Structure 1
Amino acid sequence: MPDVTSISSEISTNTACPAVIVADLKMPYRLVPPAGSRISQVVATSPHSGRHYPRGFLDQAVLGLDALRKVEDGGVDRLLPFQPLPTPLLMAEFPRSFVDVNRKGDELDARMFDGPVANINPTVTRYLRSGLGMIPRKAANQQDIYAETLPADEAEYRRQRFYQPYHDALQGLLTTAATQGPALLLDCHSMPSGLFGVDCDIVLGSNHGQSAEAWMVDEALDYFTREGLSVKLNSPFSGGYVTRHYGQPQQHISALQIEICRSLYLDEQRVELKPDWTAIAAILTRFIMRMDELTSRRQ
């Protein structure tokens, strides 16, 4: 195996997190396999750090690229693979403003489309009221993403081409992880530093104790606190659809959402990593390794 120290040194000099405009995104996600041959009970994910923007989406959107990027979990796709991990790592390649995999697949706003769309849940959720469905209508600061309605078939295209493959891959990884014992999904996000109600470094979401075993939550709280970070639990974020859907401890799969304050590692205006970004990257990767070790002991 290559020397990890030299790899990390080379990576740390590159602080860019540029958007990539593509004609067609052939693979909707990036899957980084575990560094070893052992099957881990932990799966790490980043659903909102994708920065490959389909040209067709940019043509449909009234907002420019800079405005669309405000809702990215910028740089999380750089933090997680900072060092080789013993766990699989799944990261969406497409942007959150295009498709949000942290919503139910039928959580769509019918008003966004120029005709009937199949498989829409008629329930108007709080996310839909805010314009934040599976295909978002709003970006940061409640800015409209589109000036006109979308073709009705766009909903099914995005669902089948981007949303469903991500969830199929995630389900497969968790099923494999659970063959070794109780599995744990670490769903990693970032939060804007100026967001109302955010006055800490890390927010852990356990769906108010329903999505993860208590010892896992306690260990996460203790770990980040020991690292000198301020931590809150379930406030203001308790976990989105991914945490609630996959986090079923009674079925031997737990899920924990991790929100990292962007000011710890990111120049939020330029969407570029700060010079000392590797400090939080190292803390995060050590945490994943720690949870991998602890879950393996509880087989």
Structure 2
Amino acid sequence: MNDTSGSFRLFPGAPDSPVVLHVPHSSRAIPAHARGGIVLDDAALELELDHITDAHTAEVAAEAAGRARVAPWRFVNQLSRLVVDPERFPDEREEMLAVGMGAVYTRTTHREDLRGAGFDGQPLIDRYFHPYAAAMTAAVDERLDAVGRAVVVDVHSYPTEQLPYELHGDGPRPPICLGTDSFHTPPELVAAAQEAFAGFGGTGLDSPFAGAYVPLKHYGRDRRIGALMIEIRRDVYMTEPGGPAGPGLSALAAALAELVDAVGTGAGDRS
């Protein structure tokens, strides 16, 4: 599927790779029309972007792809999650609606107003959310057709200190949090990630963030799709909030490449 909105990009990998590195929250870009309804002034908006953006994760994924023996595919959001968050549900099933962070955010990380009362986010969902979801589904379908399986590895980061919007942020905050799904994350995939990221001072499971992204078409239905979320604590590789990356970025990229190579040889395959 072609992206006519410029909101996402699929970077091709090796034809025989099952891996799709998904980078949904790395961009700070907000088109002018999508700023409608935002009540923050420029300085406050930049600070919110510092807190909410998974800075430099696109670079981690790109460097990992270059290091891997078999290059993974990369699906990268080109817009800020303040436009739409492609990993939320666009309806009442999403618990993040309780803090104003459904598919279109109305509150900030500090639970202050982001958009004015009565803002209608449906045009943003129609323009960005649905095409993004369709394209990500197509990318996974292409891996299934080409290789017979697919593994979606989400690349995220999270702040060292809990932010007020976090619903489950009072648990452990390890250097590397692995988000899992009971249906789509086999033990072999978790073990491969634990081994790959062993050098960062510890990994944890599903705290402070849980779950893994799978297109709704396949969610809970197709075991040929494996999924794992990599949540990197930001002090591991960057200055918080929103500052430059440090030497930890290349080390993370090497670890992610190791995981990609392990997945490419069968870790996480339950087909």
- Amino acid of the structure 2 residue aligned with 1:130: V
Matches within 5 A, 1:280-295: 280-294=252-266
Q: Residue 20 of structure 2 contacts residue 73 of structure 2 at CA under 8 Å; is this kept in 1? A: yes
Q: Residue 100 of structure 1 contacts residue 135 of structure 1 at CA under 8 Å; is this kept in 2? A: yes
- Identity across aligned pairs (percent)? 24
Alignment partner of 2:110: what SS?
helix
Per-residue CA deviations over 1:159-202 (Å, capped at 9, x if unaligned) read 12211121112111111212323321101111101124343111
Alignment partner of 2:266: what SS?
helix
Matches within 5 A, 1:1-299: 26-34=5-13, 36=14, 38-63=15-40, 64-69=44-49, 70-82=51-63, 83-84=65-66, 86-105=71-90, 107=91, 121=92, 125-150=94-119, 152=120, 155-179=121-145, 180-195=147-162, 196-207=170-181, 209-225=182-198, 227-239=199-211, 242-243=213-214, 245=216, 246-248=218-220, 250-294=222-266
- Amino acid of the structure 1 residue aligned with 2:54: D
What is the rounded CA distance, in whole Å, between the counterparts of 2:62 and 2:110 in structure 1?
Answer: 30
Distance 1:248 1:222, change over 3 A: farther
What is the rounded CA distance, in whole Å, between the counterparts of 1:210 and 1:177 in structure 2?
Answer: 19
Alignment partner of 2:30: what SS?
strand
Q: Give the TM-score normalised by the residue count of structure 1.
A: 0.75
Q: Give the TM-score normalised by the residue count of structure 2.
A: 0.82
Distance 1:219 1:279, change over 3 A: closer
Q: Cα distance, 1:87 vs. partner? A: 1.3
Q: Cα distance, 1:219 vs. partner? A: 1.8
- Amino acid of the structure 1 residue aligned with 2:187: A
What is the rounded CA distance, in whole Å, between the counterparts of 1:88 and 1:126 in structure 2?
Answer: 30
Q: Residue 152 of structure 2 contacts residue 227 of structure 2 at CA under 8 Å; is this kept in 1? A: yes
What is the rounded CA distance, in whole Å, between the counterparts of 1:220 and 1:282 in structure 2?
Answer: 12
What is the rounded CA distance, in whole Å, between the counterparts of 2:205 and 2:74 in structure 1?
Answer: 24
Q: Cα distance, 1:204 vs. partner? A: 0.7
What is the rounded CA distance, in whole Å, between the counterparts of 2:62 and 2:245 in structure 1?
Answer: 14
Distance 1:228 1:51, change over 3 A: closer
What is the rounded CA distance, in whole Å, between the counterparts of 2:141 and 2:102 in structure 1?
Answer: 27
- Amino acid of the structure 2 residue aligned with 1:89: R
Q: Residue 187 of structure 2 contacts residue 268 of structure 2 at CA under 8 Å; is this kept in 1? A: no
Q: Residue 58 of structure 1 contacts residue 65 of structure 1 at CA under 8 Å; is this kept in 2? A: no
Q: Residue 248 of structure 1 contacts residue 254 of structure 1 at CA under 8 Å; is this kept in 2? A: no
- Amino acid of the structure 1 residue aligned with 2:249: W
CA RMSD across the alignment: 2.5
Which deviates the most, 243-252 or 268-277?
243-252
Aligned residues: 251
What is the rounded CA distance, in whole Å, between the counterparts of 1:182 and 1:97 in structure 2?
Answer: 32
Which deviates the most, 67-76 or 267-276?
267-276
